[in-house]
Chain A
Amino acid sequence: MKVINFGEKACEKVRGYFDSYLDNELLVETNHEVLRHLASCESCTQALEARTRVKQSLKRAVEREEAPGILLDSVRRTIRESGRRRFFAHPFIAAAAALALVVSGILAVRTSHLFVPGATSGSEALQALSSEAQQIIQVGLIDHVHCALQLGKWKELISFDQMRQDTGKGALGPEFIGLVPLVKEKLGPDFQIVQGHRCRENHRDYVHLILTGQNGSILSLVITEKKGESFSRADLVAATQASGIPVYGYSQDRLEIAGFETSQFLAYVVSNLDWAGNLKVASTIAPSVSDYLRRLKG
């Protein structure tokens, strides 16, 4: 009996070293002590084998999953785009670079396309945007860029039935599910609705429909409740009122943004279509979408 107890204590002590032994973290002397014990203890050898098996299986299972390709692309793009802006880390030079960026930013805004009524091409009627106008444009742009493009949601096709049955926090829900058939009917077979969901970006909730069209076009209809903003108050001039609804247009980073509003909501069509194509989509859906939103909330 005493022998068994002695053996159990020795096993207990050695098993206490097993974690560090497995991680190659033991001192040389302690490592030898473990090896000496294992040489004469079948039970501990089996226990160690089991632990090794768990460790190796875990590594294998976790490493089987790869990061999505879109993440790698997105990380590379972010680095390269921001890399153009920073060459030096010294405060003086950083400040000079920041000043250059401000200047080039202003130029970029000035050369971006903001259109007045009747304008038909990007060379007409350019004007600088106020900070309020820039902010309201970013509200729509950010969700398309981050959710549809960077997270790759434009590739994740979800059927209308799935969207309708979804009851999760990202579901369109009974309030907004009706937008899907409405947009589909208005845009016809040229566009496919990939998915509709609710998402949150930069402390703001969005209703987001993602569509794809011909020639690799990716388009978002982004709707969000107003937080005091208004296109009409932001020194913006409507690019078209052809549908009876003022639609405001803007170009940034090779994306076209067209916006319209109700008293409670801001709505944006953001895409890689050309200026006229994006504006046409926005004008086509603006009346019905505006009616839908007004019925929902003012």
Chain B
Amino acid sequence: MFLNRRVDSGEFEAVAVPHLNDLYRTAAHLVRDRTEAQDLVQNVYLLAWKSFHRFEPGTNCRAWLFKILFNEIHHYRRKWYNKKIVSDGERSIEETLPYEPPIPEEIRDEDILTALDQIPAEFREVILMADVHEFAYKEIAEALNIPIGTVMSRLSRGRKQLRAKLAVPTEASGPNDAREEVRGL
């Protein structure tokens, strides 16, 4: 075959541009700076367009764009990403709590977004991928280039931290009291 796939900017726009909002939201919550997020997404589209002739039509364009996004963030935007490697042995206080904290019936947008911003970036990215964009674990693992087991572990730990930050303060003064309360449920 002499020619590779012929690419067309109209085709690229049709399959890639509909994911711009998803990419921007993810970038904004990972680098936590709207201007930098715009710059990042702009660059992701430029990179994607440059390699669009290698993209196989019919495969998952959204996952492909997210893979480019994470590659950009992890390799070139580390100062914004502020990566703090969370080792398996390192547990936050929230994660060591032995009980299920009570979650408010109505969760306000600002509260959950604040809580999200407070958890480590490694957890934030898998949570955004699973909860907001509803990617399968296999797709998340491929986009982030990590094993599925690590996706599951980060998701579990991240969600636990998120719940703890959203927890309704109870009259119970400590974990032991709270644990009793949950046992009684």
Residues of A within 8 A of B (CB): 4, 8, 15, 19-20, 23, 25, 42-43, 46-47, 50-51, 53-55, 57-68, 70-72, 74-76, 78-80, 82-83, 86-90, 93, 150-151
Q: How far is the CA of A295 from the CA of B6 in the complex (A)?
A: 57
Q: How far is the CA of A15 from the CA of B160 in the complex (A)?
A: 12
- Residues B185 and A43 in contact, CB atoms below 8 Å apart: yes
Specify which chain B residues have a CB less than 8 angstroms from the CB of A68 in the assembled complex.
Answer: 34, 38
Contact A62 to B45, CB < 8 A, known contacts A50-B100, A54-B163, A79-B12: no
* Interface size class, chain B: 35 or more
11 new A-B contacts, CB < 8 A, other than A19-B155, A23-B155, A54-B162, are A19-B159, A46-B185, A50-B103, A54-B107, A55-B131, A59-B134, A65-B28, A71-B38, A74-B42, A82-B49, A90-B2
Asked if B127 lies at the interface with its beta carbon under 8 angstroms from chain A, I say: yes
Specify which chain A residues have a CB less than 8 angstroms from the CB of B38 in the assembled complex.
Answer: 67-68, 70-71, 151
Nearest chain A CB to B106's CB is how many angstroms away? Answer: 9
Partner of A47, one of B5, B25, B100, B116: B100
Specify which chain A residues have a CB less than 8 angstroms from the CB of B9 in the assembled complex.
Answer: 79-80, 82-83
Partner of A75, one of B5, B7, B20: B20
- Residues A54 and B159 in contact, CB atoms below 8 Å apart: yes
- Residues A19 and B3 in contact, CB atoms below 8 Å apart: no
User: Taking chain B's interface residues, is the majority helix, strand, or loop, or is none over half, making it mixed?
Assistant: helix
- Residues A8 and B183 in contact, CB atoms below 8 Å apart: yes
Specify which chain B residues have a CB less than 8 angstroms from the CB of A76 in the assembled complex.
Answer: 13, 17
User: Taking chain A's interface residues, is the majority helix, strand, or loop, or is none over half, making it mixed?
Assistant: helix
Q: How far is the CA of A68 from the CA of B182 in the complex (A)?
A: 44
Q: How far is the CA of A57 from the CA of B13 in the complex (A)?
A: 31
Partner of B132, one of A46, A58, A82, A93: A58
Asked if B39 lies at the interface with its beta carbon under 8 angstroms from chain A, I say: yes
